[in-house]
Structure 1
């Protein structure tokens, strides 16, 4: 069921204040390193208050979206909101996340949450958490498991729908033009890369938009630029780029400009995320369309963690509502953009 999550009591007040600080998140870097960091140790809870200890393993700091997502979580899961957060950065390596989750199990935290680097290979460590009676919450990305009892809830966007929205707009704008398209995929094996590709391909099926090449840029601006440079050397007839996130699209802009062409005009660009850097490029006409992927999942995670610890039932799948923007909509949204 698609719905906007809301928080109660002090969590709502603090998370709302935290969201006002996220305008610069697209250029900030999330904490790095594989060692765990405690985000809430400096605050003391009032005597008698219950504190929920939660271990969170983040994918990494590969993009502006991820930085905003990390900030939302750290700004919401604070001591004053009733949480003791242990945070780790997996640096986009599954083995680091598995190690972090096992560390949280050993610590005996109340809740484990993580955004999986890839979809597969999680059953053994999640079974260990289940055996220790520690509930697990997935954020942003799903796991590919036949046993959905291994986690309590999955909070995040519908990546297939995001791809469909991007593809439908491409067909509406460019079908009949014989456009040749290249695709900058996200991290191989990750849920957003798999699902966004699937959704976009389904949406353009039957149109005359032709995908002539598709390679991973690993969700980073640097690799997006490198892959686009390769595409431009290999093909002289690229009309359209579909990038699975803004950062790879921004990298593609750099490559296109370096090749003496005008992004948004000579080569159209469609991306997903809608972080501030991407939205600015859209407002400037260098990107043509962006489908949003909302990174502000901290309040959602806090509410579900509270309910799980209290023994309340929670929705198995919580879909975050996403919007889409053309150039005019981006220019209108930018002054109040929170990430």
Structure 2
């Protein structure tokens, strides 16, 4: 099993954020720098995460002298493929790609390779077989996030035999795949007393997650379930609503998630959510440019640039260092 890559040095890097001065907009140019970069994203100011991500991305691009053109495919794989064609035709110095759907991005990567345009990946990595077509990755250690959430669950279970439900992310999305694998691998190795009795995708959506959790509770018998893992805070909020609607005592359940968002953090403080894993949209957007600048400068990269997977529980949920920013 892979291990989470949280270190003291990485944690210090996470909180060494630069001051933000630019506002993020879709299809925008952030500066008149001497390097032209296309950023092919699946979200933008239409999402809380994307809004803060873009602010940080634009601010860092201005500092680095990078002129950005930003697109938002809204998780439409066909639109992102079209955006990629436009980007390659424009012959930028580099493309930053946040894959909308990992299974569909190889033609984009091959097109860029043929045009001798380096591509860096941000937020959600490509499939392993496609990594040779990329210049590097910056963003969450999505497998490590699943590991960290599972470690919280194992500690909560404390050797007791319990049954839990799993609410996965969007089918085919590498973040969803990695977070599921990290969680399941760690449960199997560290606390086999925890059994995942049912698992369904919640598609990163609160309402869908409430629906699939209700369906799993009905199928397995609500009284047989003692916990839930959801692959992000939006989905865990829906799962908690499903538990409440069936009259279950949420505070007695063992519940973990990922994100530490403005939705999830208050749930941890209130005791409804036992633990989540910190993710910073500001770090993500800023380091997408940090990595791009390194590649443009011809610097040798020492592996992927991972965001630390910091565990957030009742013990530290109110600390300023892990205050949510999206």
- 2:254 maps to which residue? 268
> 2:56 is matched with which residue: 69, 72, 94?
72
1:250 and 2:237 matched: yes
1:18 and 2:20 matched: yes
> 2:284 is matched with which residue: 297, 310, 318?
297
SS of the equivalent of 2:263 reads: helix
SS of the equivalent of 1:77 reads: helix
Summarize the alignment of residues 101-250 of structure 1 with structure 2, pairs less than 5 Å apart. Answer: 101-146=84-129, 148-205=131-188, 207-234=192-219, 235-237=221-223, 238-250=225-237
> Using the alignment, how far apart are the partners of 2:210 and 2:51 within structure 1?
20
> Using the alignment, how far apart are the partners of 1:99 and 1:257 within structure 2?
43
> Using the alignment, how far apart are the partners of 2:110 and 2:81 within structure 1?
12
CA 1:39/1:125 → structure 2, altered by over 3 Å: closer, same or farther? Answer: same
1:240-283 C-alpha deviation (Å, 9 max, x unpaired): 110001110112222223333343x1433200111222111111
TM-score in terms of structure 2 length = 0.84
C-alpha contact (below 8 Å) 1:58/1:70 kept by paired residues: no
C-alpha contact (below 8 Å) 1:63/1:221 kept by paired residues: no
Distance apart, 1:334 and its partner CA: 7.7
- 1:91 maps to which residue? 74
- 2:316 maps to which residue? 329
Distance apart, 1:94 and its partner CA: 1.7
SS of the equivalent of 1:37 reads: coil
> Using the alignment, how far apart are the partners of 2:290 and 2:296 within structure 1?
10
CA 1:288/1:337 → structure 2, altered by over 3 Å: closer, same or farther? Answer: same
TM-score in terms of structure 1 length = 0.81
Summarize the alignment of residues 43-82 of structure 1 with structure 2, pairs less than 5 Å apart. Answer: 45=32, 50-60=33-43, 64-78=48-62, 81-82=64-65
Long gaps (5+) in structure 1: 8-12, 23-29
SS of the equivalent of 1:196 reads: helix
Distance apart, 1:6 and its partner CA: 9.6
SS of the equivalent of 1:276 reads: coil
> Using the alignment, how far apart are the partners of 1:147 and 1:232 within structure 2?
38
Root-mean-square deviation (CA, aligned residues, Å) is 3.0
SS of the equivalent of 1:193 reads: helix
> Using the alignment, how far apart are the partners of 1:221 and 1:242 within structure 2?
14
1:66-105 C-alpha deviation (Å, 9 max, x unpaired): 4433443244334x65222221222222222211111111
> Using the alignment, how far apart are the partners of 2:52 and 2:162 within structure 1?
34
Distance apart, 1:175 and its partner CA: 4.2
